A and B are shown apart, each in its own frame.
Chain A
């Protein structure tokens, strides 16, 4: 004869997750304990008594809905959602001009790029000047050649 079932085995068997060893068919003692577990389970199922007033009101609403179609509550929720979506869209559109470059921004950008170009020219001239007047002849010769004017 196989070992008696533990509480864990009974619990698993109650919820159909094991053990499927057929032990209950052969063991009278475990069979009796199993009957007890089933009784206990039935006792845990004793449903709480629901408030009859709550059920009656709920039933009224269900039947009213079947007579008049969708509830107005749901309609109101959709209207609120649509209004909210509209507000968000409006806010986005109101901000949209800031996202597109304005003419002022364009002229500013042109001024900035001009200043950048002037700075780059000055930097180049400065670099060349320093190269020319440095003592290393190899490096100087090539650059100097660029600025020599024939007499």
Chain B
């Protein structure tokens, strides 16, 4: 089955995004995948390359697909994205000479990438939250970060995360417990800041 036919079939089966062709599907999923990659890799440039890799892998997989159905294209694509990021993180360990972004640079990129209208304050606050969480997430291991990112940002259940990462549910819960334990104070601060802002 060709790519277009597969995507059309996904669309007919009531996929999460209205999949008409590959380009439309890319446009619908691209911001989510790019943000997921950026949160996992903590590097805008690398996230850009990773996002391109993710869609290229998806395209190839669909092209080589002979039969069978993808019951949840969004989840399938998320799995490709997480695995791509984990591969990059593994290879990154050898690239000790690579340039690391300073937290201030990350904040600047995030603020600049936010559109300063019409609710500019909300956008700046959102960028601030994103920056704080990004900093906190840097203390987690690769697996813990993958689990936490899928739970926090994509609101997936631990069972779903286990399926995406192809891990045992108990292992995922253990990773999540350790991640929450490491981030406990940051998360408390974050929720307090949000609560305070909402009462202003």
Contacts and interface: CB of A to CB of B under 8 A. Distances in A.
A11 B180 contact: yes
Contacts of A54: 48, 113
Contact of A58 (B23, B34, B129, B188): B34
Number of chain A interface residues as a range: 20 to 34
A48 B110 contact: yes
Interface string A30-45: 0000001101110111
Contact of B113 (A45, A50, A58, A71): A50
Interface centre among A15, A43, A50 (most CB of B within 10 A): A15
Interface in A57-75: 58-59, 61-63, 65-66, 70-71
Given A17-B180, A40-B195, A61-B52, A47 B26 contact: no
A7 interface: yes
Number of chain B interface residues as a range: 35 or more
A50 B151 contact: no
Contacts, number: 101
A44 B26 contact: no
B113 A65 contact: no
A48 B114 contact: yes
Nearest to B159: A16
Given A45-B153, A47-B31, A50-B35, A63 B126 contact: no
Given A49-B114, A61-B52, 6 more contacts: A16-B151, A17-B177, A47-B31, A47-B35, A62-B56, A63-B22
Interface of B: 22-23, 26-27, 30-31, 34-35, 48, 51-52, 55-56, 59, 110, 112-115, 122-123, 126-127, 129-130, 133, 148, 151-153, 155, 157-158, 173, 176-177, 179-180, 184, 187-188, 190-191, 194-195, 198
Interface of A: 7-8, 11-12, 15-17, 36-37, 39-41, 43-51, 54-55, 58-59, 61-63, 65-66, 70-71
